[in-house]
A and B are shown apart, each in its own frame.
Chain A
Amino acid sequence: LAKTTQPISMDSYEGQEVNITCSHNNIATNDYITWYQQFPSQGPRFIIQGYKTKVTNEVASLFIPADRKSSTLSLPRVSLSDTAVYYCLVGVGQAGTALIFGKGTTLSVSS
């Protein structure tokens, strides 16, 4: 499984755009990149998934360069409620496989 590296923590203010970058140098050809969000004492929640280029949904965008060795989760105009831990996962190319979580990035949003 590809190992991922992401910042341990990030700070932001309400209304700003936040970009969290994840490094995954050993990503395999059939691996997808997936991001989950977790609030304290709650289960992780799926945010977005992509394979290459750019994916956008109602809450975030995911940018993946051509070499796919990194990816960037972009959260537009964050609010206090976006304070959470964000996990970057790689290696779910086969549907129905277990998720391997790293340490994640703790995002703190203040007013």
Chain B
Amino acid sequence: DSGVTQTPKHLITATGQRVTLRCSPRSGDLSVYWYQQSLDQGLQFLIQYYNGEERAKGNILERFSAQQFPDLHSELNLSSLELGDSALYFCASSVPLGHEQFFGPGTRLTVL
């Protein structure tokens, strides 16, 4: 158990819908990262937040957005869902000056 929690574990929805994935980092970790893992693309970095502010952006689509709240939990919002958005979405957290990232168990999103 990494200490990072993600909900829900599984999510099944239809094309065109919007979903929200939630992540709670380890206690004390200020950085939260979101990654997408699909079969054909591998693990891709989406976006990073540090203490409530966006820190870095990766291959995140405009239909996707995220935020980090004052209590440091983060949400990833996916809208206008397409079949290709079906993937495992991981959240990770790290201490301010740490190199190691701790990954949550992931949310499996299936878009039908």
Contact = CB atoms under 8 A, between A and B. Distances in A.
Given A42-B106, A43-B90, A43-B106, A96 B2 contact: no
A38 B43 CA distance: 11
A45 B100 CA distance: 9
A104 B97 CA distance: 26
A43 B103 contact: yes
B42 A99 contact: no
Nearest to A102: B42
B48 interface: yes
State the main secondary structure of chain A at its contact with B: loop
Given A98-B48, A99-B45, A100-B45, A41 B99 contact: no
A96 B45 contact: no
Categorize the interface residue count of chain B: 20 to 34
Nearest to B47: A98
Nearest to B88: A41
A50 B92 CA distance: 21
Contacts of B44: 101
Given A41-B108, A43-B106, A103 B42 contact: yes
A96 B43 contact: no
Given A46-B102, A96-B48, 11 more contacts: A41-B88, A42-B106, A43-B105, A43-B106, A45-B103, A95-B98, A96-B31, A96-B55, A96-B98, A98-B58, A101-B35
